[in-house]
Structure 1
Amino acid sequence: MTIEPPAPGEPRRPDGPRDPGDAWVVAEDGTRYWGRFGAAGLLAVDPARGVLLQHRVGWSHFGGTWALPGGALHQGESPLRGAVREAQEEAGVPDGAIVPRFTHVFDARIWRYTTVVADVADPFEPVISDPESLELAWVPPAIVDALPLHPGFAAAWPDLRARLDIRPAVLVDAANVVGAVPDGWWRDRQGAATRLRDRIARLAERGIEAPTLGLEGMRWFPLFAMVVEGAARGVEDADGVRVFSADGSGDDEIVRRAQAMVASGLRLTVVTSDRELRRRLDEVGAAVEGTRWLLEQLD
């Protein structure tokens, strides 16, 4: 493997506080990959308009093809942050406009490309904001294959397309999870539920490895929700976590929420170790994991 700087006319970015990674990684067979620290791209999904694609300018690598807004990762930068940054630089994606759903990785051993698939939470119009694009367009998934695609994106697209209809969610029986750890929760049930919510919020931000959810791909970012009851009622939502307060039975509220989530097409996992509740959830069609499953993810 060798590292080569960009040739004249190839994209360069201003020097910053860390290495921007603007160099070619060259494999022993001569294959070149852009990005000293790997690369990442964003596949934004809008249910009404399709996926956001970039028509690459002619002088770029595989110019004239269609691919994703993306580019080299900076030193120490996560693929998620890098993909969003590149999409903001190249397509004007606004802050807070997208919510990550899953990642897909092409691993060449000496180099990796991470595709971050994200749902559009706040519709926007892309803006060509650097010289690397001929055009940006929302393309219905059914006609993506009809475009001249960048070879790397063309290879990944069948897997990406197959997962666009999968939307995982995790619903947590907060009382059951809190009660599984003897840390004095009984002295302040609302405080204990709030601490659990905050830990789940951090998990929502970093995501869960695909096999843990029984899914393919690299990492998924499920929708997270939790049900609180009794003295724990009143805990508010946090970034990445919806909190439902049960007016009566917590179990009944969990079953009602699970029914609604499954009916909406979500691939739902409920976290509880309550045997009777597990039986009721089996009838709803939700997958069920015990409290240890969640605690291992939180740790």
Structure 2
Amino acid sequence: MDTGNGLPRRPLGSGDEWVELPDGRRFWGRYGAAGLLVAHPEAGVLLQHRAGYSHFGGTWGLPGGARHQDESPVQAAVREAGEEAGVPAGALQLRLASRLELPPWSYTTVVATVEEPFVPVIGDAESIALRWVPDDEVDSLPLHPGFADSWPMLRGLLGVRPTLLVDVANVMGSRPDGWWRDRAGAAGRVLGGLSALAGAGMPSADFGLPGSVWWPRVAAVLEGEAKAAPDQPDVEIVRAPRDGDGAVVDFVGSSDAPERVTVVTADRGLRDRVERLGARVLGPGRLWDLIDEALSAPRSTPSS
């Protein structure tokens, strides 16, 4: 769309303008900005060589840009990466988001992985080049100052994947909603909430990790009549062959990184057993709060 003077008209709600901080520094994005760090275990990370006219032109950084009004950081990062680098939204698996706060401005780095590296495509004049850079070669490039500051932390987190392991029977029992009349139905409600939570992500503090939000591997242990509950997207179901507590302990004990497993239970005996294996524990009340929030919020999927 044209304004009549040859300049493109900004879409309604666009954040494409400068914000000046109280100390005089200027940053792009009226509503803040977001960038996408796409990673692959062998190819490395996808970086953008910024055009000379852009802010910190000539440096290497992440595809990204200004958030639009009412646009989430994930939506903004994925949209900008698609526009600038041809990043396929459907191939992304969200891992974490890290938010830098410089009131009234903020910048969110969204980290996602892909199973197969794709061929990036320059979509606008903001890029000189796009390429996959092995992790150990990133520091050899002239990096955008903001990305240079955050890269050491981000690199250390690329191989981290927290797991949320839910003792469904205990979580069901913590909310008196008539679960005893239909255990499979009650378990299905928990699993549906976990599916929503898997899409929304969880605060980093619940995993004791840096960053702002993490999208964990979500697993749920079912026992007895609850094992009849149907599967849900993005939730791994463990149908206990015997007792649920034993299945939870076996899961933690067989993990390559038990310290990255957070078990949701209020059972004191089970809590002691998994903590001795190195796992963290979260209470059912906290999980229900997160589920209720996730069910009432838009799902933070890459394609949203």
Q: Report the TM-score when normalising by structure 1.
A: 0.89
CA 1:266–1:288 in 2, change beyond 3 Å: closer, same or farther?
Answer: closer
Selected match of 2:287 from 255, 278, 294 = 294
Partner of 1:62: 56
284-293 or 140-149: which moved more? Answer: 284-293
Partner of 1:279: 272
**1:184-263 pair list within 5 angstroms:** 184-260=178-254, 262-263=255-256
Offset of residue 183 of structure 1: 0.9
Structure 1 residue 175 and structure 2 residue 161: aligned?
no
Letter in 2 for 1:95: A
Offset of residue 246 of structure 1: 1.7
**Could you tell me whether the CA contact under 8 Å between 2:85 and 2:120 is conserved in 1?**
yes
Offset of residue 175 of structure 1: 0.8
CA 1:13–1:143 in 2, change beyond 3 Å: closer, same or farther?
Answer: farther
Structure 1 residue 268 and structure 2 residue 225: aligned?
no
Partner of 2:127: 133
120-129 or 48-57: which moved more? Answer: 120-129
CA 1:190–1:124 in 2, change beyond 3 Å: closer, same or farther?
Answer: farther
CA 1:266–1:143 in 2, change beyond 3 Å: closer, same or farther?
Answer: farther
Q: Distance in 2 between matches of 1:231 and 1:168?
A: 29
Offset of residue 275 of structure 1: 2.5
Deviations 1:226-280 (A, max 9, x none): 11111111434333322221222222222222223x3157711011122232233
Partner of 1:4: none
Selected match of 1:160 from 154, 162, 170 = 154
Q: Distance in 2 between matches of 1:134 and 1:179?
A: 57
Deviations 1:115-162 (A, max 9, x none): 011122454222222222111111122221110001111122122223
Partner secondary structure for residue 107 of structure 1: strand
Letter in 2 for 1:184: G
Partner secondary structure for residue 96 of structure 1: helix
Letter in 1 for 2:283: G
**Could you tell me whether the CA contact under 8 Å between 2:258 and 2:277 is conserved in 1?**
no
Selected match of 1:77 from 71, 87, 101 = 71
Higher relative contact order (CA 8 A, sep 6+): 2
Partner of 1:5: none
Selected match of 1:86 from 80, 105, 108 = 80
Selected match of 2:35 from 33, 37, 41 = 41
**Could you tell me whether the CA contact under 8 Å between 1:102 and 1:220 is conserved in 2?**
yes
**Identical columns (%):** 51
CA 1:272–1:59 in 2, change beyond 3 Å: closer, same or farther?
Answer: same
CA 1:123–1:257 in 2, change beyond 3 Å: closer, same or farther?
Answer: farther
> How many residues in Structure 1 have an aligned counterpart in Structure 2?
288
Offset of residue 293 of structure 1: 2.8
Deviations 1:178-205 (A, max 9, x none): 0111111111111111111111222222
CA 1:52–1:179 in 2, change beyond 3 Å: closer, same or farther?
Answer: same
Letter in 2 for 1:272: T
**Could you tell me whether the CA contact under 8 Å between 1:23 and 1:35 is conserved in 2?**
yes
Letter in 1 for 2:270: L
CA 1:277–1:46 in 2, change beyond 3 Å: closer, same or farther?
Answer: same
Partner secondary structure for residue 21 of structure 1: coil
Letter in 1 for 2:274: L
Deviations 1:8-37 (A, max 9, x none): 99xx87643x31211111234432211111
Unpaired segments of 5 or more residues in structure 2?
Answer: 293-304
Letter in 1 for 2:287: L
Partner secondary structure for residue 13 of structure 2: coil
Letter in 2 for 1:138: W
Letter in 2 for 1:258: V
Deviations 1:88-128 (A, max 9, x none): 11111113211221111222112111001112245422222
Partner secondary structure for residue 102 of structure 1: strand
Q: Distance in 2 between matches of 1:35 and 1:288?
A: 39
